[in-house]
């Protein structure tokens, strides 16, 4: 999952880029200009998905801001670095960094509200479920009406899904969506739709899950997010597969009833019915599974092209599970 707060990160830094792009009334001091350059370069690399490089730029920016005694800017970049590490799957490193900056954040209320959600995300990624829930509870209490509310609900939805609490997850995801706007926060809105799709799929609401997954895909494509696009296609495939299974079961029941009714008077044995029923069910299943297979193939193609090996393997295994060989 792309880290919580990524939109806030990009909006903040792009605003800084715009502010620094015009002709300033006077040149910036060289140390400040150098620090800003590292921060801006980190933002560009983060936006391109170059998370390790982005993290390194933010770390250097934090060091440079510390050297000119700007603790707020230094903390800002340390939090950016933590986001980059989380996005790169380095949750343990991110959590260690957050531990180190916690004393500084405590003295900067404007930044301290950002630390708890990042900590919860790192704990969740590390499987520290109890700790993550406790951190989120504290974050919600400290953020009754802050801009991070939507992100907190998205994290709470992810946590609830991890604990198999699908209804709770759906509530949090819907609440987050209500706090977001597609035009201004498309990335987080896509995350909200994706979480709704996962929750609805877990609740057996196949049609609604498919609609939500497709809504996420419609947002992720223009944002050019390969990982999310692949996950969207996997969810679409999962929803279609469940729908295919349900359709096959329904078709089988209908066929069985249609065959049994006229034959009951002749006391035909059940074994006579098993073969035509099985063939009918298999044929219907093959037709209905085609949509799922197509979605899984798209997920596999996207994941392989983007070098996302774990996601590619998930797509490959799903294809194998429905009887389709995938090299």
What is the residue extent of each domain of the chain?
1-19+26-103, 154-223, 225-327
Kindly tell me if the per-residue pLDDT of 250 is higher than 60.
Answer: no
Kindly tell me if the per-residue pLDDT of 226 is higher than 80.
Answer: yes
Q: What's the pTM?
A: 0.78
Position 142 confidence tier, pLDDT thresholds 50, 70, 90: confident
Burial tier of 34 (Cβ tally within 10 Å: 0-12, 13-18, 19+) = middle
Q: Which CATH architecture has domain 154-223?
A: Alpha Horseshoe (1.25)
Average of per-residue pLDDT across 161-181: 95
Q: How confident is the prediction for the chain on average, in pLDDT?
A: 84
Contacts of 326 (CB under 8 A, 6+ apart): 297, 300, 315, 316, 319, 320
8-59: pLDDT as tens digits: 455 455 555 445 555 556 889 999 999 999 999 999 999 888 999 999 999 9
Kindly tell me if the per-residue pLDDT of 1 is higher than 70.
Answer: no
For residues 317 and 301, what is the distance between their CA atoms, to the nearest angstrom? 14
Beta-strand runs (E) in 57-185:
none
pLDDT score for 111: 81
Residues above pLDDT 70, as percent of the chain: 79
pLDDT score for 281: 36
Q: Which two tokens stand for residue 299?
A: 């997920």
pLDDT score for 247: 56
Contacts of 324 (CB under 8 A, 6+ apart): 293, 296
């Amino acid at each position: 999952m792309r880290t919580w707060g990524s939109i806030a990160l990009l909006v903040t830094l792009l605003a800084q880029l715009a502010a620094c792009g015009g002709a300033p009334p006077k040149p910036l001091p060289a140390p400040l200009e150098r620090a800003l350059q590292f921060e801006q370069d980190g933002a560009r690399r983060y936006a391109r998905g170059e998370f390790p490089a982005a993290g390194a730029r933010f770390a250097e920016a934090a060091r440079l801001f510390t050297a000119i005694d700007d603790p707020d800017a230094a903390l800002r970049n340390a939090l950016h670095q933590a986001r980059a590490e989380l996005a790169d799957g380095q949750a343990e490193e991110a959590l260690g960094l957050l531990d180190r900056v916690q004393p500084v954040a405590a003295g900067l209320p404007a930044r301290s509200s950002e630390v708890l959600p990042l900590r919860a995300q790192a704990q969740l990624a590390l499987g520290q479920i109890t700790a993550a829930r406790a951190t989120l509870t504290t974050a919600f209490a400290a953020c009754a009406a802050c801009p991070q509310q939507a992100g907190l609900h998205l994290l709470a939805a992810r946590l609830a899904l991890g604990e198999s609490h699908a209804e709770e997850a759906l509530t949090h995801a819907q609440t987050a969506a209500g706090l977001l706007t597609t035009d201004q926060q498309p990335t987080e809105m896509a995350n909200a739709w994706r979480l709704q799709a996962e929750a609805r799929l877990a609740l057996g609401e196949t049609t609604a899950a498919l609609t939500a997954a497709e809504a996420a895909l419609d947002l992720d494509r223009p944002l050019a997010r390969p990982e999310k696009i692949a996950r969207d296609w996997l969810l679409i495939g999962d929803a279609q597969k469940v729908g295919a299974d349900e359709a096959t079961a329904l078709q089988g029941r209908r066929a069985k009833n249609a065959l049994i009714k006229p034959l009951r008077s002749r006391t035909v044995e059940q074994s006579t019915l098993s073969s035509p029923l099985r063939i009918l069910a298999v044929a219907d299943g093959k037709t209905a599974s085609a949509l799922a297979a197509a979605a899984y193939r798209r997920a596999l193609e996207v994941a392989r092209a983007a070098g996302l090996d774990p996601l590619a393997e998930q797509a490959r295994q799903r294809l194998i599970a429905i009887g389709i060989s995938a090299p």
